[in-house]
Amino acid sequence: MPGKFNPYRPDKVATPGMFAGRYAEIQFIDGCLRQTKFGNPKHFLITGERGIGKSSLVLLEQAVASGRVPGISGTNYNFMVINVALRREDTFLSIIDRVARELRKQVAKENSLANMVLKSIDFLSRIEAAGVKFNRDNLAGSEEESMASLEDDFETTILKMGDAKDGILLLIDEADRPDANANLGLFCKLLTEEMAMRGCDKICIGLAGLPPLVSKLRESHESSLRLFHILNLKPLEPVERRHVLDAGIKEANKRNADPVTIHDHAYDMIGDFSEGYPHFLQEFAYCAFETDTDNEITPDDFMGSLFEENGAFDQLGAKYFDKSYSTPASDDYRKVLDAMSEHDDSWVSRSTIISDSGLKAATVDNALRALKAKDIIMQDESRAGHYRLPTRSFAVWISIRKKAEEVNE
């Protein structure tokens, strides 16, 4: 819809005002904040596939904890929020550095803490000034001293804040990105145990990352997972998908002169085709909104937006799956992926793939070998002849393509 404000944003995390669903997860995190306020913190770990809404939930909880948005229980919290995102190259020292710098930034915003001196930044700066880089080996002594300095800073901050703040919420997004030897699990365990021993147990830690985060934490420290309640995000339910679309239309009609509506059948189609994946939902809604020309988004608008040049399928493919789906050398290989997608990301036997694809056994065997070699599919190491797609979202995308092509014929 040229010239109109489009409220759907597949390229950004959902703002608190556009957030929908995740009631159980939001309710649990509200309990974590409440218990932390009482000095009895509970920590949480948000995980799920790419595009499932982890960062959007982190953004919402940042707003709730800081008091910009009321909690689901109606409580207006007043936490200091330390929000950092990790990178692939991060080490134990650089994680400390990221948290210390964000702590300093938040402390500087509080008038009551204006004169407070933080030790960790000075210590880390001295390490770098001496020519020691964070990715060097054999830095155990520096790591211990840096961690101790950060713990001192958290203790000082909590004591000086007193009852003026409910506590500190430490949010670490993209927590799966560093290697296990960055020791994020050890970082969390040391911090929580030290704060408890010092009588400053008012820090709630929230991690967010892709599923490998769980194994990386376990490898970092075998007992670190015990700290966290794991919230595994699943696709949105149909009613939640509708809420997302309604929130977008409501926002659009606040900002545009002419109101926009969505045809009931278009509501259902956008929601069904998305399979509840928030990023798919935002992409489909955005493209359908752009295609519409008469202020009513219809099924034809939606279907047209799927296949036009640079439309929804092109966007999702380029961002997530096209390399995996287009890399196979022949249509027969893609038929193998199509057959596997009928089983989502569950294990599928070779015989089932042969039956479902209608291909010869030799062709399927060649395809499976090639797809496995390129890490497009996974093989069950415990059972011979069983394979699966790496993620459910990849399976859903393949299924959506087939479904849309059938409807469009």
CA distance to 36, 338, 347, 362, 387, per residue, from 355 (Å): 55, 12, 15, 13, 14
What confidence tens digit (pLDDT) does each residue in 149-204 have?
999 999 999 999 998 999 999 999 999 999 999 999 999 999 999 999 999 999 99
pLDDT at position 290: 93
| CA-derived radius of gyration, the chain | 24
Whether 298 contacts 291, CB under 8 Å: no
Q: What is the mean pLDDT of residues 387-394?
A: 86
- Taking 70 as the threshold, does the pLDDT of residue 383 lie above it? yes
Query: What's phi and psi for 82, nearest 5 deg?
Result: -105, 110
List Cβ<8 Å contacts ≥24 apart for 123-126: 123/149, 124/93, 124/96, 124/97, 124/100, 124/149
Give the helix/strand (H/E) hosting 340: helix 331-341
CATH number for the domain running over 22-232: 3.40.50.300
pLDDT at position 24: 93
371: exposed, middle or buried (Cβ count in 10 Å: 0-12, 13-18, 19+): buried
Which residues lie across from 342 on neighbouring strands?
A: none
User: Given pLDDT bands bounded at 50, 70 and 90, which one contains residue 408?
Assistant: low
pLDDT at position 129: 47
What confidence tens digit (pLDDT) does each residue in 293-325 have?
999 999 999 998 987 878 888 788 777 776 666
Q: What residue spans in the chain does CATH classification 1.10.8 cover? A: 238-315
pLDDT at position 231: 98
What confidence tens digit (pLDDT) does each residue in 65-89 have?
999 999 998 999 999 999 999 999 9
Q: What is the mean pLDDT of residues 100-108?
A: 91
pLDDT at position 390: 84
May I ask the CATH architecture of the domain 329-408? Answer: Orthogonal Bundle (1.10)
What confidence tens digit (pLDDT) does each residue in 328-349 have?
567 888 899 999 999 988 999 9
If you write DSSP's letter for every residue of 120-163 in order, what string do you get? HHHHHHHHHHTT--TT-S--HHHHHHHHHHHHHHHHHHHHHHGG
Q: What is the mean pLDDT of residues 251-262?
A: 95
What is the layout of strands, in order, in the sheet containing 348-349? 348-349, 386-388, 378-379
Q: What is the mean pLDDT of residues 239-245?
A: 93
DSSP secondary-structure letter at 4?
A: S
What is the layout of strands, in order, in the sheet containing 79-85? 79-85, 167-173, 203-209, 43-47, 228-232
pLDDT at position 125: 58
170: exposed, middle or buried (Cβ count in 10 Å: 0-12, 13-18, 19+): buried
- Taking 80 as the threshold, does the pLDDT of residue 130 lie above it? no
Q: What residue spans in the chain does CATH classification 1.10.10.10 cover? A: 329-408
Q: With pLDDT > 70 as the criterion, what percentage of the chain qualifies?
A: 89
- Taking 80 as the threshold, does the pLDDT of residue 61 lie above it? yes
- Taking 70 as the threshold, does the pLDDT of residue 115 lie above it? no
User: Given pLDDT bands bounded at 50, 70 and 90, which one contains residue 117?
Assistant: low
User: Given pLDDT bands bounded at 50, 70 and 90, which one contains residue 407?
Assistant: low
pLDDT at position 176: 97
pLDDT at position 116: 66
Q: What is the mean pLDDT of the chain?
A: 88
Q: Output the CA torsion sign for 237, 267, 57, 315.
A: positive
CATH number for the domain running over 238-315: 1.10.8
Who wins on pLDDT, 396 or 359?
A: 359
Q: What is the mean pLDDT of residues 354-373?
A: 92
pLDDT at position 317: 78
- Taking 60 as the threshold, does the pLDDT of residue 365 lie above it? yes
The tokens describing 92, both together, are 């134990």
- Taking 90 as the threshold, does the pLDDT of residue 136 lie above it? no
pLDDT at position 138: 43
Q: What residue spans in the chain does CATH classification 3.40.50.300 cover? A: 22-232
The tokens describing 130, both together, are 């001496």
List Cβ<8 Å contacts ≥24 apart for 245-254: 245/270, 245/271, 245/281, 245/285, 247/7, 247/17, 247/18, 247/19, 247/20, 248/7, 248/8, 248/18, 248/285, 248/289, 249/7, 251/7, 251/17, 251/18, 252/4, 252/5, 252/6, 252/7, 252/289
User: Given pLDDT bands bounded at 50, 70 and 90, which one contains residue 122?
Assistant: low
User: Given pLDDT bands bounded at 50, 70 and 90, which one contains residue 140?
Assistant: low
DSSP secondary-structure letter at 21?
A: -
- Taking 60 as the threshold, does the pLDDT of residue 96 lie above it? yes
Compute the distance between CA of residue 361 and CA of residue 43 in angstroms, rounded to an integer. 50
pLDDT at position 126: 54
Q: Look-up: residue for tokens 């995390």?
A: 13
- Extended beta strands in 240-357, E state: 261-262, 296-297, 348-349
pTM: 0.82
Compute the distance between CA of residue 269 and CA of residue 337 in angstroms, rounded to an integer. 24
